[in-house]
Amino acid sequence: MVLLALSAYLVYQIGCDLFRKDEPPPKPLEPLKQDMTLKELKKYSGRDASVDNRICLGIKDEIFEVTRGKNFYGPDGPYNCFAGREASRCFATFSTDEDDIPEGKDDLSDLTSDQKSSLNDWYENISSKYPKVGKVIYTPEDEVKKTK
CATH number of 32-142: 3.10.120.10
Q: Could you give the CA distance from residue 139 to residue 108 in angstroms, rounded to a whole number?
A: 18
Q: Beta strand 62-65 with 132-137: parallel, antiparallel or unpaired? A: antiparallel
CA–CA–CA angle 66, 69, 72 (5° rounding) = 110
Per-residue pLDDT of 50-77, as tens digits, reads 888 999 999 999 999 999 999 999 999 9
Whether pTM exceeds 0.75: yes
Closest alpha carbon to 56 in 78, 77, 80:
80
Cα torsion angle, 73, 137, 120, 131, sign:
positive
- In terms of Cβ atoms closer than 10 Å to its own Cβ (0-12, 13-18, 19+), residue 60 is middle
Per-residue pLDDT of 119-133, as tens digits, reads 999 999 999 999 999
Find the range with the poorest average confidence among 36-40, 61-65, 91-95, 101-105: 101-105
pLDDT at 64: 97
Which one has a higher pLDDT value, 1 or 26?
1
Q: Could you give the CA distance from residue 67 to residue 86 in angstroms, rounded to a whole number?
A: 16
Coil vs helix vs strand at 127: helix
Which one has a higher pLDDT value, 146 or 34?
34
What are the structural domain ranges in the chain?
Answer: 32-142
